[in-house]
Amino acid sequence: MQISPDTKYAATRHSAYSIAQGLSSGTALQEETKQRACNKNMLKIKRGYSMKFLYPVLLAVIIMGCGEASSVNELYQEEAIPIDTLIPVDSIGILMGDSCYTLGAIQDYTMFPGSQPAILDRVKGTVSVFDSAGTFVNSFGGFGEGPGEFQHPFALTRLSSGIVIIPELMGKVTIFNSEGEYLSSWSIEGMGGLPLSIIPFDDSTFVCYYFTMKMGDEGFGIDYSLNRYDAITGDVVTEYFNWSGNPHPSTDFTPAYLITASDGHGKMYLSRIQSDSWMVEVYGENPEPLGTINLFSSAERIAVPDTAMVPGVMSVMYSFSDGESSTERAFVNMPEYHPFISALGVDGDGNIWCRRGGLPGDRWDVVSPEGENLREVVAALPDSAYYIDMDVSPHGILAFNMMTEDFHKLYIMGE
């Protein structure tokens, strides 16, 4: 089965829908700039107890339908634990005014040291950094073909050494120092590609979960990989995971789906979407796991309605041959059940945050590195959200209502 070299991918890093994207070289993104509003709500954490969850050429927008959100509260009732409500203490983004605060469209975001939010804007093509009070500090990048400029910026992370990494569609990776000054760029192997996620590993390496095409004995195949890279040289340091499949609608892609997080100091956590039990694998520098964390033995997975999105799984479009002379397109298939864990994060105490599968994705179980269930956290935004995207890092917690009908806004969450 042949794949056309000009395969078009569809996905948005932090998006509940898929976007079919034309990837012609040099084509700029044409999208009306969305803008943000500043809403500073100094709120308190509420605690209770209960019994125990692009781009360049916009071709099409495929909304993964808003099916009924499934309740997962009843699935985690093994013991009484604290329940915290996590709410915004500040926000970044205004509707009109200073261009430093009007965001085009949030592509990715994370917290830098000192509780400094950083936003990758797919309309402006820049990384903007703010201080802990939400005040603009600096921005870098921009669209272009020169050193430190982007064509299709897709994801963002920062190492403990200050190195900032921006992978793009089609494999390019651009490296900056902590001040946003350009250091180097290189490309991930493969014909085109999509960086599904990127996390810091230590002070000089990062881990990227990557979708691409590779040539095999029988033609092009689809490849999912999880590798650790040297940030400056691009050398592969560790190969943790690799899955290859035939680019065809008959292929079940679910064995390739996984999620990861890291403490940024040499320890990575991984959960597989198709796992039939609640489990987090722990990795160090080597490809073999150091151990596993198993909890919630009585929990059950929730079936996915035909119209529902699946948090934790990015929908990607690929092309395949119809066996004759033309090429057709299809999306990788969604799993039949929501995963036990749909996102992972690590906080400043080294505890692992595990988002329960299902919608609206507002419930997290916080687990110690030793595997002790510490508490449950429920995230709440000012307006009701079909799906809440959240980034938990050692430097703080950020949230984004990606389905908002209003302008994009990034929330700084308090705890």
70-110 pLDDT, tens digit each:
444 445 555 688 999 999 999 999 999 999 999 999 999 99
355-410 pLDDT, tens digit each:
999 999 999 999 999 999 999 999 999 877 889 999 999 999 999 998 887 899 99
ω into residue 195 within 30 of 0, thus cis?
A: no
378 CB neighbour count, 10 Å cutoff: 17
Q: Look up the pTM and report it.
A: 0.83
What pLDDT does 109 receive? 98
Phi, psi values for residue 256, rounded to 5°: -90, -10
Residue bearing tokens 């209502």: 401
What pLDDT does 190 receive? 78
What pLDDT does 324 receive? 74
- Tell me which residues of the chain have a pLDDT lower than 70: 1-79, 216-218, 307
CATH (residue range 17-35+54-72+94-336): 2.120.10
What pLDDT does 79 receive? 64
What pLDDT does 82 receive? 92
Q: How far apart are CA 248 and CA 330, in angstroms?
A: 8
What pLDDT does 76 receive? 57
How many Cα atoms sit within 13 Å of 404 on the Cβ side? 22
What pLDDT does 77 receive? 53
What pLDDT does 402 receive? 84
Query: Considering only CA atoms, which of 403, 392, 410 is closest in space to residue 15?
Result: 403
What pLDDT does 35 receive? 33
